[in-house]
Every structure is written in C-alpha cells, then in structure tokens.
Structure 1
Amino acid sequence: MNHHHDGPDARHRRPDGVDDKTVEALGSLSKALETTERARGHLYGFHQLTGTADLELDRAVRLLREAGHTGWADKVETEVLGRNVIPGHWTFQIVEAYNDTYYDPFRQLERAAVAELADGRDHLYEAEMKEDRRTEGHPDHSARPPATDA
C-alpha cells in the first residue's frame, strides 16, 4: 500500500493489528450487504409500482362504468382491486417481513462485525484500493475532499 502525505482520513485507515484477510473479509461482507441494499430497493420499487397499479384500477373501474360496462367494472373491482399479491399479503407486508426477517438482522450483523473487527471503520478495503490506485500529485487523484481534516 502506498502511503501518501495526503492519504485516507483516520476513519478509513486500517487500525493496528487488523490483518489483510480481515480487511478482505469485511469488504466481502459489506459488498454482500450493498447487494442486499439494491435488492431491497427493487422490493420497494415492486411495492410502489404495485400500489400505483392498484390505484389506477380505480380509474379503470370508473371509466368502465361510464362507458356502460358495469359487469366488467364490477369484475375488476371485486377480482383485482385490492387483491393480495401473495396469499394474505399486500406488498407492504412483504416489505415488512423482508426487513424484519432478513435485512435488519443482516445489517446489524455487518455493523457488529465492522465495530468489533475494525473499530467501526467502514470501507477499509476500498480505501486501501483507492490509495494503491492513486497517482501522487494529480489533482483528481486526491485521497479525500479538500475540506476534510486528518
């Protein structure tokens, strides 16, 4: 690892006694959590898109009634509008179950591992990779923003 006078700030420097394998392992754990963050975002997208579609059905029902298709309006209203997306669940319940069962415990475990094994310092793997890939003296390869101290 290159050590530059303007290297990473203190919270991105490896604490004494933390070995390469630990930094790599914590980086992998964090990468897995980041992937889960993306999956969770897709789940929220699914939740919001499904809700938007359900609300649009109100308009479809109204227009079918106005067009004189009362039977179809009733069918949409009773068969699809407000229907569970899986047995017993609307999408908000799926989001809550995902958060409670998987996401929250995963995030808590990752935070606890970083706290215990790296003094709570995040992104050590990436910070060291950045340091190795910087071009010393190049203005767009600085280690940190100009306003950051230490």
Structure 2
Amino acid sequence: MTQDPMDSPDAAHQRPEHMSDETVHALGSLSKALETTERARGHLYAFHQLTGSADLELDNAVRLLREAGHSGHADVVEREILGRNVIPGHWTFQIIEAYNRTYYRPFADVERDVVRNLADGRDHLYEAEMKEARRSRGHPDHTARPPTTR
C-alpha cells in the first residue's frame, strides 16, 4: 500500500539528508532559547506599556489631588514621579531599544544564520520530528499537514 504524501511532513519540515540527530537536537535547543528570549522581550514590552500607562494615569491623580485641595501633594507627585526615568537616563522605550540592539537582534540573526547553514533554512525540525513520533497516523485530528485547498 502506498503512503499518502499528504500524510508526511512537507519538505520544509524534513531534515536535510545527512543531518545528524545531534544537530537536530542542537537546533531545537537553539530555537527554544530564542523562543524564550521572544517571551522575555514580550514581558519587556508589557513593562513598557504598563509603566507608560501608570505615568499617564498620574495626570489624573495630580488633577484629582488639586481638585481635592491637596496642591502640595499634587506638586510632589508631579515633580518627583511624573515623567521620571525608570533607571538613570532611561525611559522604558530606551531600555527596549538597547535590548533589541544589544541582545535580541544579534541573537535572532545568529539563530537564523545557524539554521540556514546547518538545516538549509528549515525551521522547527526538532518539533516536526516530535510531531511525527507522537501523532496517530490516519486520525483526522493528527494529520501531518494543514489541509490544502483543491
């Protein structure tokens, strides 16, 4: 019986000939490290947005303190906290820019180059092989590929 070609991974998710298990595993580890960095970067953006939202809310707090007759306290909040650097010389956007420039982009570039050189640019080979090992062949919810339009 001939195997249905749609019941196997597409070429982009099959290891190149002569690629060792060790290389597939190493690329999987590199990919996992980059994915973890992507998550960290997301948290950095969340920090940026939350800090910015808090700073903008201070406008309301200062206004309300003044309306409540607490101009001195409003002045302290406005002078000491509103628009304050989160670390010396930096607002959060500057932290993100430095992180992207110094760590994230070089990491992503190196990962892309390693995958291009060792795996002909094929991403997620480790995961693709794990999927093949774990799926139930013939089950409609365990297909190797997304459905195609005919």
TM over 0.5: yes
* Structure 1 contact 23–125 (Cα < 8 Å) conserved: yes
CA-CA distance at 1:105 after TM superposition: 0.3
Cα distance change, pair 125–148 in 1 and its aligned pair in 2 (3 A): farther
* Structure 1 contact 4–136 (Cα < 8 Å) conserved: no
Q: Does 1:66 align with 2:75?
A: no
Cα distance change, pair 4–118 in 1 and its aligned pair in 2 (3 A): farther
Q: CA RMSD in A?
A: 1.5
* Structure 1 contact 84–90 (Cα < 8 Å) conserved: yes
Please, which runs of 5 or more residues in structure 1 have no aligned partner?
none
TM-score by length of 2: 0.94
What is the identity percentage for the equivalent residue pairs of Structure 1 and Structure 2? Answer: 76
CA-CA distance at 1:4 after TM superposition: 6.9
Q: Count matched residues.
A: 147
Please, which runs of 5 or more residues in structure 2 have no aligned partner?
none
Runs of 4+ displaced beyond 2 Å: none
Cα distance change, pair 99–45 in 1 and its aligned pair in 2 (3 A): same
Question: What secondary structure, in the 3-state scheme, does the structure 2 residue paired with 1:139 have?
Answer: coil
Q: Separation in 1 of the partners of 2:149 and 2:81?
A: 55
Cα distance change, pair 110–25 in 1 and its aligned pair in 2 (3 A): same
Q: Does 1:135 align with 2:125?
A: no
* Structure 1 contact 57–81 (Cα < 8 Å) conserved: yes
